[in-house]
Amino acid sequence: MSRYSALGLLRGAFNGQKHWQPAWRDPEPRKSYDVIVIGGGGHGLATAYYLASVHGVRNVAVLEKGWIGGGNTGRNTTLVRSNYRQPQLHNLFEFGLKLWHGLSDELNYNVMFSPRGAMFLGHSDADMAKLAELGDAMRCDGIDADLLTRDQVEKVEPLLDFSRNARFPIEGAVIQWRAGTARHDAVAWGYARAADALGVDIIQKCEVTGFVRDGDAVIGVETTRGRILAARTGICVAGHSGHVAGLAGLRLPIESQTLQAVVTEGVKPMVQSVIMSNSLHCYISQSDKGGVVMGGDPDNWPSYARRGQPTVVEHAIAQAIGLMPALSRLRMLRTWSGVTDMSFDGAPIIGPTPIDNLFLNGGWCYGGFKATPASGWTYAHTLATGTPHALNAPFSLERFMTGATIDETGVGPMPNHR
Amino acid sequence: MYQIDCPHCGPRAQSEFTFDRPVEAIVPPDAAAADALQALYTRTNPMGVDDEVWRHTYGCRAWLVLTRDRVSHAIDAVRALGPEALS
Ligand SMILES: [Zn+2]
């Protein structure tokens, strides 16, 4: 792998930039591997990269049905943060946030991570008490969180509606300054290039159609490009976990639902941070190209269609305009949707399954992108050693049967009410 | 699927309806604890047709069973919820 650098770019300028090579190979699948990762999204590619770089497991294949980064990695709203109340969640996401801060250097690929701050708005005294508790819980584990007054919020985001007859009055916020956004495609491409350089085979247009069994154990997969064997197989296809695990006969605590997002035409900087509100259900940020990105709740009924209801988008936009009336002047560029794994406590699943040699990483609900490095790192540990790391041990599949769920919103087994 | 044909009210906009759970997740009152746990916490979640419990929440408020494709969104049948709808 040739290293990307400013000097290389300058040198290329003298020969018409003709030195560029493909960033990863396009290999034929081998007959067998030490580890197969099903799913070439950010999480799967990160898993392969950390298997090779941290654990020295380089005989690895990433199997992708379409093209890498073409699923939820290319469909999210690129938010990166670790501001969760439950210690298991914020410790996992914070581990990831620390990796995000050095990721461009580590991968030698600009993932455009921009720690511009992410805030939860408070609209009432009760909101502010809850946000103070959230901030305290984070700070107890060494994670940054600052409680902002109404005036302090106005300094960061002057375009929010601070008038006293505002649709959603703003009383303050809790902000995590180290949080922000990243370039979603670059994350997949950066991990792919770095993993490929360490010997990982990235095999695209290769759909898994079944599992090869030896007794109870999984010893490989059937694919549209033939049978491929592996000592360990990891499912990493959030959105379609139910479908792929179903090929092995597993029933998961997951329902697949549509989550939509919206982006406007590009404008000059008007949203400085990432604005979220738990009392409402919308979040607003501005991309580096200038488009204002907004999202809201899932459509709340099962679907694999990547096609949502306009009413749900309308609801999210109405709330965003209520918070920031100037947004009403922008034209909508496009809306899109992805299929999300809604797990039954709102938290992910990373660990072994009841089937020998088969592992699962999924259930990311609407919050998987931010976890890409942490998900890959802990899943690589799990696949290399056969046992979970302390960070992902709480996110076992058994927790739903033992009652040890990690329910940030306290809703219970009702993914459509989350 | 932007219109659902309620057996009581006729075709109405989907925004009047709410999804509750797949039929397989209905827990019988006399279920053993282990079976109730399975029904509440696991799903087939098929990439295809399933039977689902919906409610005409912002209409007649009746419970319904939809046989619905989760990829094409085509609705094959809408029935009022009752013993014969589940059999
Ligand atoms: Zn009706």
Cβ-contact A301, A146 below 8 angstroms: no
Does the pLDDT of residue B86 top 80, yes or no?
Answer: no
Token couple for A196? 């490929």
Does the pLDDT of residue B51 top 60, yes or no?
Answer: yes
Predicted local confidence at residue A409, as pLDDT = 84
Please name which of A232, A173, A187 lies closest in space to residue A96, comparing C-alpha atoms: A187
Token couple for A239? 């959105």
Q: Is A27 helix (H, G, I), strand (E, B) or coil?
A: coil
CA–CA dist A300, A377 (Å, integer): 31
Predicted local confidence at residue A254, as pLDDT = 96
CA–CA dist A44, A59 (Å, integer): 15
Cβ-contact A326, A275 below 8 angstroms: no
**DSSP structure string for A344-408:** SSSS-EEEE-SSTTEEEEE--TT--GGGHHHHHHHHHHHHHHSS--TTTGGG-STHHHHT----S
- Supply the ipTM of this predicted assembly: 0.93
What pTM does this model have?
A: 0.96
For chain A, helix (H) and strand (E) counts, in that order, are: 11, 18
Domain ranges (residues) in chain A? 28-82+85-109+184-255+345-417
Which tens digits make up the pLDDT trace of A26-71?
999 999 999 999 999 999 999 999 999 999 999 999 999 999 999 9
Predicted local confidence at residue A189, as pLDDT = 98
* B70 vs A246, A251, A302: nearest CB: A302
Does the pLDDT of residue B1 top 70, yes or no?
Answer: no
CA–CA dist A276, A319 (Å, integer): 11
Cα of B25 from ligand 1 centre, angstroms? 22
Predicted local confidence at residue A278, as pLDDT = 86
Residue type at A132 in one-letter notation: A
- The stretches in chain A having pLDDT less than 70 are 418
Contact between chains at B73 and A307 (C-beta distance less than 8 A) = yes
List chain A residues with CB under 8 Å of B52. 301-302
Q: Is A23 helix (H, G, I), strand (E, B) or coil?
A: coil
Q: Which CATH superfamily is domain B3-86 in?
A: Folate-binding superfamily (3.30.2270.10)
Cα of B16 from ligand 1 centre, angstroms? 9
CA–CA dist A232, A141 (Å, integer): 34
CA–CA dist A194, A73 (Å, integer): 17
Contact between chains at A246 and B44 (C-beta distance less than 8 A) = yes
Please name which of A263, A272, A265, A208 lies closest in space to residue A235, comparing C-alpha atoms: A208
Q: Which CATH class name applies to A28-82+85-109+184-255+345-417?
A: alpha beta
Cα of A54 from ligand 1 centre, angstroms? 58
Predicted local confidence at residue B84, as pLDDT = 61
Q: Which residue has the tokens 């996110």?
A: A395
